[in-house]
Structure 1
């Protein structure tokens, strides 16, 4: 990783750092679900399934990765910012990167993750379905969010 800060597309050499951002942020916000996967499992997920199916972007500061997003057409698979870096616009920049390539986006988050829900709703996402969690590996009630780009107004 270079010492430059800001947003950049991540490559194979960045997947361990991306997995660490994911796990650190996930465990901090959802401590009762902490330890669901090992570091090796997280790395395999990021360097395998996500790297094959998604564009992965990161935000770095001082050479350290502090936020990540993995998205594909019309869908956000993962978006995490280290807790100590939240509230500084990093998640917004990552989200804008995905929005710039899509006219609509969907994602799942847990119902209990109030901060994530507020973040997505502040960025124009709307909750369209809630589940009891039976369909996810954590067995945690979740909510499906959707965002649509508003059509541009015609110029006068």
Structure 2
């Protein structure tokens, strides 16, 4: 659980510096222990013994997909995404509108933008975008 929380925080901070360190490491550990691991199927990617990426998904939703910045571009995110895509015929996820690399990643893999919000419904109050993927 600890490595997953660390991967999440490092990748999140790198992708969204305007929201960096939104939570303390203790809050991240609590979130992963009480919410992510309690409600999702969680898979990790490893380089030797070190975790480099994580995906957490549940019935039709991807809740978390993060890859360490220095491990990006090596197919880790694609491999993790593939695990969820093999498990479900339809997947949805939320990402922040300002996270252009994530949006490009999902769009290149067949996810379609279906909703944009002003962020009023999320903790960060950051405009977000909901994507949908359906097995062809």
- Counterpart CA distance in 2 for 1:29 and 1:49 is 22
Give the corresponding residue for 1:28: 14
Give the corresponding residue for 2:25: 39
Give the corresponding residue for 1:78: 64
Measured after TM superposition, the shift of residue 139 of structure 1 is 0.5
Within the alignment, does 1:128 sit opposite 2:114 as a pair? yes
Superposition RMSD in Å = 0.5
- Counterpart CA distance in 2 for 1:35 and 1:68 is 19
SS of the aligned residue for 2:130 comes to: strand
Kindly tell me the number of residue pairs found equivalent between the two proteins. 136
- Counterpart CA distance in 1 for 2:20 and 2:72 is 19
Q: Deviations over 1:4-63 (max 9, x none)?
A: xxxxxxxxxxx1000000000000110110111000110111111111110000000011
- Counterpart CA distance in 2 for 1:118 and 1:22 is 19
List structure 1 segments (4+ residues) > 4 angstroms apart after TM superposition. Answer: none
Give the corresponding residue for 2:47: 61
Q: Deviations over 1:102-154 (max 9, x none)?
A: 0000000000000000000011100000001011010100000000001xxxx
Structure whose alpha-carbon radius of gyration is higher:
1
Measured after TM superposition, the shift of residue 79 of structure 1 is 0.3
